[in-house]
Chains A and B, each alone.
Chain A
Amino acid sequence: MIRFILSKLLYLVPTFLGITLIAFSFVRILPGDPVLLMAGERGISPERHAELSAQLGFDRPLWVQYFDFLGRLFHGDLGNSLVTKKPVMAEFLTLFPATVELGLVAILIATLIGVPVGVLAAIKRGSWFDQVSMTAALVGFSMPIFWWGLLLIIFFSGILGWTPVSGRISLVYFFPDVTGFMLIDSLISGQKGAFGSALSHLILPSVVLATIPLAVIARQTRSAMLEVMGEDYVRTARAKGMPPSRVIGVHALRNAMIPVITTIGLQIGVLMAGAILTETIFSWPGIGKWMIDSISRRDYPVVQSGLLLIAGLVMLVNLLVDLTYGLINPRIRHK
């Protein structure tokens, strides 16, 4: 197992270096001059421009800048935002829990609904439940989620007035940031109504973000179940008179879950892309909105480091999925 982990880790090194190279070079070729941008509306004299360029290291050869960038990266220094002047890492850490909270709730919704629906659809193959749920899954899979979010806002916020339109919690509540997760912090604070407010802010964005993963998980679970239920060992279990609930629950489901777990893990990339849209629609103060805002403000260090952090994160989660896969399926790690 240790060899398996090491080989997987070794494999990641060139990929990670490639990611740093992409993040670095993108920002160098982005149009616009970062020094001019920092100077703001008033403009800047050529002397001051040269001075600032030298100060920020923009006048050195590109490869020197790249190795400098790598060196600082390994010390956890990702530079400062050109707009807020705060360290990028600090900004990332403040906003990150919001995205994680949203993403976790979304993946929870997707899994808790998607897996049972997929299993039931497979067991009752060809029934009306199978047909309706799989049609719904295909619709969900094809959904432009930015539009879906707007529709939910029209209906639940506009017409019914049940949920707020944007943000993470109502402004009347104020409590210290303990975990960064609004649901938990509001509970800890003990303020009346705070948890309800956090929950009502979270529900629409997480449903929107869950839509595509839910559809993918339901479809994947169904096809994995169908495949497993055609296997010899399931037929044997049936033939020796085992109750159907045990055949499905123990023999079929366990084996069908292996590809499903991979699918769930691979949704992290989908979630990050979805978070960009969802957070924009619901003004959710997370990483996705931060990236969009930074791109439109041409805040280079943020775009560069954000890209790096997100890709690194996706890579890490994919590694974890790979390792879990190796853990539950010994055939993989001995290959």
Chain B
Amino acid sequence: MSDTTIKLSDAAIRKQMLADFLFYFRQNRGAVVGMWVFLGLVILAIFAQVIAPHDPTQQYRDALLVPPFWQEGGSTSFLLGTDAVGRDMLSRLIYGAQYSLFIGIVVVAIALIGGIFVGLLAGFFGGWVDSVIMRVMDVILAFPSLLLALVLVAVLGPGLTNAMIAIAIVYQPHFARLTRAAVMGEKEREYVTAARVAGAGTMRLMFKTILPNCLAPLIVQATLSFSSAVLDSAALGFLGMGAQPPASEWGTMLAEAREFILRAWWVVTLPGLAILISVLAINLMGDGLRDALDPKLKRS
């Protein structure tokens, strides 16, 4: 036995892993920018009540379709102008961040928990359990996601909650597949056998021994699903199947603004820009996470 072997505590290993992760994440400039923008959005959403200059549903009847302040006819009391019923655009956009982040979190949480559970079952038990579960996942994946979500919402009734459930159901197979693949790769490894021999029960093996070692691809997929959820829920809102007016959800705002497309550019341009910026920020972050968590890419 060599004398130079140093016993590292779990905490020290975790600290080193975190340091490694941060090092690789910081190397990706886009990811860092994305992270700051995302943090900005989170702050906007949390402190919307303090930051927003007006109530997002307050209609100023004497200020309909006021352009942004830098344009002729604009006013500094409505920095980004007002919509067709006189609501302050800036305030609605700020409150809209709450919707998007909320939708992203709920959708990813449902899809992640459901997918991990189903994927663990399939990967761990194999055999007919695996076949049945994966065939069901294949069926869900055969439908274009937006179409399936649309029909689900039509079944459940239009609205934000149902839209989130529908999108989560549509995303869930991706997590199930990833979890299953990772579990199948891990379950034959020695540490799992060791745990089994040491007397670990099925639940402990699945959730405490194997699952933590399968998390990297799931984290990356969760980030990507977060941005897709923001996009898809906005698309559902745009098609009148998501959040219902007067909600200041960005897609719903766009749907309401469609008829003013050639008269008032700001009511159409700004909500879409908000969607684009948040989705882009999350995707940038996702790219950085993938690079930082994927050991194969690190070496190159």
A307-318 vs B, CB cutoff 8 Å, 1 = contact: the mask equals 100110011001
CA distance A70 to B231 in the complex (A): 35
Query: Is B150 a contact partner of A276 (Cβ separation < 8 A)?
Result: yes
CA distance A26 to B254 in the complex (A): 29
The contact of B279 among A144, A150, A291, A311, by CB within 8 Å, is A144
Q: Nearest Cβ distance between residue A22 and chain B, in whole angstroms?
A: 6
Query: Is A147 a contact partner of B144 (Cβ separation < 8 A)?
Result: no
Query: Known contacts A31-B155, A276-B239; can you find 20 more A-B pairs with CB under 8 A?
Result: A15-B138, A15-B142, A22-B139, A26-B155, A143-B276, A144-B251, A146-B234, A147-B276, A150-B261, A154-B262, A276-B146, A277-B146, A295-B150, A295-B151, A298-B154, A307-B143, A310-B144, A314-B142, A314-B143, A315-B142
List chain A residues, Cβ under 8 A from B157: 31
List chain A residues, Cβ under 8 A from B238: 144, 146, 277
Interface: B265 (CB within 8 A): yes
A56-69 vs B, CB cutoff 8 Å, 1 = contact: the mask equals 00000000000000
Interface: B186 (CB within 8 A): no
Q: Considering the complex, give the chain A residue whose CB is closest to the CB of B240.
A: A296
A144 with B231, Cβ < 8 A, contacts A153-B261, A273-B144 known: yes
Interface: B57 (CB within 8 A): no
List chain A residues, Cβ under 8 A from B234: 144, 146
Query: Is B144 a contact partner of A295 (Cβ separation < 8 A)?
Result: no
A18 with B150, Cβ < 8 A, contacts A142-B280, A310-B144 known: no
Query: Is B254 a contact partner of A276 (Cβ separation < 8 A)?
Result: no
List chain B residues, Cβ under 8 A from A144: 231, 234-235, 238, 251, 272, 275-276, 279
Query: Is A303 a contact partner of B151 (Cβ separation < 8 A)?
Result: yes
Interface: B7 (CB within 8 A): no
Query: Is A273 a contact partner of B276 (Cβ separation < 8 A)?
Result: no
CA distance A150 to B253 in the complex (A): 13
The 9 closest A-B CB pairs, nearest first, are: A147-B272, A18-B139, A273-B146, A142-B279, A272-B144, A273-B144, A142-B280, A144-B275, A158-B262
Interface: B59 (CB within 8 A): no
Interface: A325 (CB within 8 A): no
Q: Nearest Cβ distance between residue A204 and chain B, in whole angstroms?
A: 13
Chain A interface residues (CB < 8 Å from chain B): 14-15, 18-19, 21-22, 26, 29-31, 135, 138-139, 141-144, 146-148, 150-151, 153-154, 158, 230, 269-270, 272-273, 276-277, 280, 291-292, 295-296, 298, 303, 307, 310-311, 314-315, 318
Q: Nearest Cβ distance between residue B68 and chain A, in whole angstroms?
A: 16
List chain A residues, Cβ under 8 A from B135: 14-15, 18
CA distance A277 to B151 in the complex (A): 14
The contact of A150 among B147, B272, B284, by CB within 8 Å, is B272
CA distance A269 to B141 in the complex (A): 9
List chain B residues, Cβ under 8 A from A315: 142
CA distance A103 to B276 in the complex (A): 23
CA distance A272 to B150 in the complex (A): 13
The contact of A230 among B265, B269, B300, by CB within 8 Å, is B300
Query: Is A139 a contact partner of B280 (Cβ separation < 8 A)?
Result: yes
Identify which of A21, A141, A230, A291 gathers the most chain B CB atoms within 10 Å of its CB: A141
CA distance A151 to B208 in the complex (A): 50
Interface: B287 (CB within 8 A): yes
Q: Considering the complex, give the chain B residue whose CB is closest to the CB of A21.
A: B139
Interface: B136 (CB within 8 A): yes
Q: Classify the secondary structure of B's interface with A.
A: helix
The contact of B235 among A18, A146, A311, by CB within 8 Å, is A146
Q: Considering the complex, give the chain A residue whose CB is closest to the CB of B157.
A: A31
Query: Is B272 a contact partner of A292 (Cβ separation < 8 A)?
Result: no
Q: Nearest Cβ distance between residue A272 and chain B, in whole angstroms?
A: 4
Interface: B204 (CB within 8 A): no
Query: Is A280 a contact partner of B239 (Cβ separation < 8 A)?
Result: yes
Q: Nearest Cβ distance between residue B260 and chain A, in whole angstroms?
A: 11
List chain B residues, Cβ under 8 A from A19: 139, 142-143
List chain A residues, Cβ under 8 A from B152: 26
Query: Is B265 a contact partner of A276 (Cβ separation < 8 A)?
Result: no
List chain A residues, Cβ under 8 A from B136: 18
Interchain pairs with CB closer than 8 A, number:
125
Query: Is A142 a contact partner of B276 (Cβ separation < 8 A)?
Result: yes
For this complex, 13 residue pairs linking A to B, each with C-beta atoms less than 8 Å apart, are A15-B138, A142-B276, A144-B231, A144-B272, A144-B279, A150-B258, A154-B265, A154-B268, A276-B144, A291-B147, A303-B154, A311-B144, A314-B144
CA distance A307 to B139 in the complex (A): 12
CA distance A303 to B147 in the complex (A): 10
Query: Is B155 a contact partner of A30 (Cβ separation < 8 A)?
Result: yes
Q: Nearest Cβ distance between residue A103 and chain B, in whole angstroms?
A: 12
CA distance A132 to B17 in the complex (A): 32
Q: Nearest Cβ distance between residue A224 and chain B, in whole angstroms?
A: 14
B249-269 vs A, CB cutoff 8 Å, 1 = contact: the mask equals 001001000100110010011
CA distance A102 to B94 in the complex (A): 36
Identify which of B142, B154, B235 gathers the most chain A CB atoms within 10 Å of its CB: B142
The contact of A273 among B147, B154, B227, by CB within 8 Å, is B147
Q: Considering the complex, give the chain B residue whose CB is closest to the CB of A147.
A: B272
Interface: B223 (CB within 8 A): no
Query: Is A18 a contact partner of B138 (Cβ separation < 8 A)?
Result: yes
A311 with B142, Cβ < 8 A, contacts A142-B227, A147-B275 known: yes
Query: Is A26 a contact partner of B142 (Cβ separation < 8 A)?
Result: no
CA distance A15 to B139 in the complex (A): 5
Q: Nearest Cβ distance between residue B300 and chain A, in whole angstroms?
A: 7
Which residues between 180 and 213 of chain B lie within 8 Å of chain A, taking CB atoms? Answer: none
Which residues between 198 and 248 of chain B lie within 8 Å of chain A, taking CB atoms? Answer: 227, 231, 234-235, 238-241
Query: Is A310 a contact partner of B272 (Cβ separation < 8 A)?
Result: no
